[in-house]
Amino acid sequence: MITKTTRLRRGIDLVIAIVACGFLLFPLYWMVNVSLTKPQNLIQTPPSLFPSDPTLDGYVQALSTQLPNLVTSLVISIGCVILTLAIALPAAFAMAKFKVRGTGAVMFVFLLAQMIPGIVLVTALFAIYNALGLLNTYQGLILADATASVPFAVIILRAFMLGIPDELIEAARIDGASNWRAFVSIVIPLSRNSIVTAGLFSFLFAWADFLNANSLTSGNSIVPFTLGLYRYIGSTTTNWNGIMATAVIASIPAAILLIVAQKYVAAGVTAGAVKD
């Protein structure tokens, strides 16, 4: 039975939660607010807390100047998802379902991968790409972005596949199915949720990449939105509504991820800290 005091306490907790969330998410609210504000209203002090005189000009500007960059990011991100899953799925299967001796070593390399600073890796990649002619190429960026998402995807997929009963795979083998068949027609369909999660996170990693894009491309050959936005900030002091509108549009994939895969997001945050 819920007593009056319990109800009161829950009410107070709810209010605290709203205040804490509001405070923590304020920068994001501010981004939306600015994106809807006219430039002349942005330079008034104190700034208006609400878009009292809203305009969509910022979004028009964002789409007219940044749309190609968003498309570039989309291409790179999708490429990264495909590459990541193609590499990570079979590996996760082997590590979960065969007692592969190298599993420990591979997991150890993954742990290392989290510790090596991105700037160190990208500096070395620059020297390698320079020699191989991979600078300013889509392949080069996709491969570089996949260095972050492959370990992550293997960890998530393997953890899920460990839970698939061995009997299911055994049964398929007894029916004469090859390992490849068992993998394609049993393991992959059963792992659908974890594949979606790993895929979404891989997408998001590549979508958010700034370091690789800033280091492995130059000029206007390939400009993902992260780079476009970065240059946009540097070049303008007045069009902040356009800048923020770009930022809002660029947040859409993350928002979708939070809604679609809410359960898995917390798991994603901690996947780096998984055991083994």
Partner 1 sequence: MTDTAVLAAPVAGGAASRPPARRRPRLRLRLAALGFMAPVVIFLAVFFVYPIIRGFVLSMQDFGPSSFITGDADFVGIDNYVTVVTDPIFGTIAWHTVLFTVVSLAGQFAIGMALALFFTRRFPLSATFRSLILLPWLLPLIVSATAWRWIFDQQFGVLNAAIGSQVGWLTDPAVSLWAVIIANIWLGIPFNMVLLHGGLQGIPESLYEAAALDGASRWRTFWSITWPLLRPVTAVTLLLGLVYTIKVFDVIWILTKGGPANSSHTIATWAYEQSFTDLQFGVGAAAGEILVVVALIFGFIYIRAQRKETFG
Near partner 1 in 76-135, by CB under 8 A: 86-88, 90-91, 93-95, 98, 100, 102, 106, 109, 111-121, 123-128, 130-131
* 20 sits near partner 1 (criterion: CB under 8 A): yes
Among the listed ranges 51-59, 64-72, 139-147, 160-168, the one in contact with partner 1 (CB under 8 A) is 139-147
Among the listed ranges 52-60, 160-168, 190-198, 247-255, the one in contact with partner 1 (CB under 8 A) is 247-255
Q: Exactly one of 60, 162, 258, 260 binds partner 1 (CB under 8 A); which one? A: 258
* 71 sits near partner 1 (criterion: CB under 8 A): no
Do you find a cis peptide bond into 46, omega within 30 degrees of 0? yes
Closest CA to 206 of 145, 141, 162, 148: 145
Q: Exactly one of 133, 176, 189, 219 binds partner 1 (CB under 8 A); which one? A: 176
Task: Print the binding letters for residues 39-58 with partner 1: x by CB under 8 A, - otherwise.
Answer: ---xxxxxx-----------
Give the C-alpha separation, 175 to 169, whole Å. 10
Q: Which of residues 153-172 bind partner 1 (CB under 8 A)?
A: 154
Q: Which of residues 198-227 bind partner 1 (CB under 8 A)?
A: 204, 207-208, 210-211, 214-215, 226
- Closer of 56 and 105 to partner 1 (Cβ): 105
Q: HEC states along the chain?
A: CCCHHHHHHHHHHHHHHHHHHHHHCHHHHHHHHHHCCCHHHHCCCCCCCCCCCCCCHHHHHHHHHHHHHHHHHHHHHHHHHHHHHHHHHHHHHHHHHCCCCCHHHHHHHHHHHHHCCHHHHHHHHHHHHHHHCCCCCHHHHHHHHHHHHHHHHHHHHHHHHCCCCHHHHHHHHHCCCCHHHHHHHHHHHHCHHHHHHHHHHHHHHHHHCCHHHHHHCCCCCCCCHHHHHHHHHHHCCCCHHHHHHHHHHHHHHHHHHHHHCHHHHHHHHHHHHCCC
Closest CA to 208 of 31, 61, 70: 70
Q: How far is the CB of 176 from partner 1 (least distance, A)?
A: 5
Q: How far is the CB of 129 from partner 1 (least distance, A)?
A: 10
* Number of residues binding to partner 1, judged by CB under 8 A: 97
Question: Is 57 exposed, middle or buried (CB count within 10 Å of its CB: 0-12, 13-18, 19+)?
Answer: middle
Among the listed ranges 38-46, 54-62, 63-71, 191-199, the one in contact with partner 1 (CB under 8 A) is 38-46
Q: How far is the CB of 192 from partner 1 (least distance, A)?
A: 19
Q: How far is the CB of 126 from partner 1 (least distance, A)?
A: 7
Q: How far is the CB of 48 from partner 1 (least distance, A)?
A: 10
Q: Which of residues 181-200 bind partner 1 (CB under 8 A)?
A: 183
Q: How far is the CB of 25 from partner 1 (least distance, A)?
A: 6
Among the listed ranges 60-68, 159-167, 189-197, 239-247, the one in contact with partner 1 (CB under 8 A) is 239-247
